[in-house]
Amino acid sequence: MQHSEWICVVDFGSQFTQLIARRVREIGVYSEILPFHTALEKMTAHPPKGVILSGGPKSVYEEGAPNVGREVFELGVPVLGICYGLQLMAMHFDGAVDAAEQREFGKAELVIDDASDLFYGIPQRSRVWMSHGDALSKLPASYEAIAHTDNAPICAIRNPEKRHYGVQFHPEVVHTEHGKNLLENFVMRICGCTGGWTPRSFIEQSVEEIRAFVGDGDVICALSGGVDSNVAAVLLHRAIGDRLHCIHIDNGLMRSGESARVVRAFRDEFGIPLKFVDASDLFLTRLAGVSDPERKRRIIGAAFIEVFEKEAAEWRDARFLAQGTLYPDVIESVSFKGPSATIKTHHNVGGLPEKMHLRLVEPFRELFKDEVRRVGAELGVPASMIQRHPFPGPGLAIRVLGDVTKERLDLLRAVDEIFIEEIRKAGEYDNIWQAFAVLLPVQSVGVMGDARTYEFTTALRAVTSVDGMTADWARIPYDVLETISNRIINDVRGVNRVVYDISSKPPATIEWE
């Protein structure tokens, strides 16, 4: 999708890069993350309204530290450097960066010395969040300091003529007071953006682009029943009507009653034709004896292609395949930082079009999950469908750790249903980004009545997040957890121990596999 106004976020490996992009979009301006080594090419071909240089884990003087060419600073658009980005800007213009006498990680009090542009409307003193070992020790020529802290005399700089700005702290994190105001000042006041990036504008532009891309062709949609594919199907149906053909495959790895709900919703509520296929036996046969999570994903992906290809043959003239791929899927599956490792394979990113010779339609490839939800609400999709927690493409196969069998899946389905039912009852569901149960390949001794048991352990996982890129464990009240644990152990024969996962992302991922 081509955007008339956009902000380029250049990624130097910061764990907060996605947050920068999110904050800019919250302001109403489209932003895109580009890796440092390829950003200039796209910016030259389609100039942004402004550039934000992210933080990063390296020192600017470290061998192999990421860098951008001087050309980025000479595009004639405003540039904002954050932490590492500030230091890189200073280095390019003959400033000096040295190891700070005292490293700063956490809160600091910012004192603003000039509030005329970047800090417009922000109180003179506020709390900011620092994460750095290096700091500016000498201003670049023709630059001036506009804010400081006790530990960083040069905490923010600017060159009004070049429209270059830099801050040592992280305005994108919630711990920085008025951080969003700072970014809004940069994007709207300094870059001159108008803020037309809204769900409605996205829908209007997407419908036009889908129609232009598809022409008079038919589109096949793999409908999983999750938020992304649901909203994608409704958007596509608005664009091309009955030339959209949805297929829902029950792979035996769904949550309790999931497939029946999907079929009912699309046929009855949306009036969108849907072909239902029960392929659960095939998937479970292929997964028998497999415990490695990446092998599970590959097996599921291959089986899905096989079944989907067979069922899609009904529409031999179809030339397009729709998927609900999201921006975080792309970021995690395809490294943006050159030689870094792929965290995990997302089965709906890559693979399918090449094997099926269909052109790919991915209307949400540039969106974060919460943006898809807002698009869904604008399209009239019921809140019960768009506010559902994310569900992984491989389904419960990656929540049954170890071998996947129908018995273990049924056990997990029963546990998961109780967990979700109780957090809904307690009013906690909408406060949580994602909640689910994991069946561990661990059995332990228990006692029920006077009898000894030797049964499975289940782990409960619930996290809060904005976009799934980072997450914290949800503080579910103890009495609610107690109720959930008691119900699971009493009602689900085969489970005698319940544990709660309190790890955050990073270092853990949200899913266990």
CA distance 336 to 12: 9
Give bridge partners of residue 461 from the DSSP assignment: 436
Query: Which residues make Cβ contacts (< 8 Å) with residue 500, sequence separation at least 6?
Result: 459, 460, 462, 476, 481
Residue 381: half-sphere exposure toward Cβ, Cα within 13 Å: 30
State both tokens at 9: 């976020």
Note if 83 is an active site residue.
Answer: yes
Catalytic residue among 83, 191, 221, 246: 83
Catalytic residue among 92, 164, 170, 178: 170
Give bridge partners of residue 98 from the DSSP assignment: 135
Note if 357 is an active site residue.
Answer: no
Catalytic residue among 172, 311, 332, 455: 172
Of 237, 234, 198, the residue nearest 214 (C-alpha): 237
Q: What is the 3-state secondary structure (H, E, C) of 416-450?
A: HHHHHHHHHHCCCHHHCCEEEEEEEEEEEEEEECC
Note if 172 is an active site residue.
Answer: yes
Helices (H), 288-433: 293-312, 327-333, 352-356, 369-379, 383-386, 406-425
Per DSSP, the three-state class of 71 is helix
Sheet holding 144-148, edge to edge: 30-35, 6-11, 50-53, 79-82, 164-167, 156-159, 144-148, 96-112, 125-138
Active-site residues: which are they?
83, 170, 172
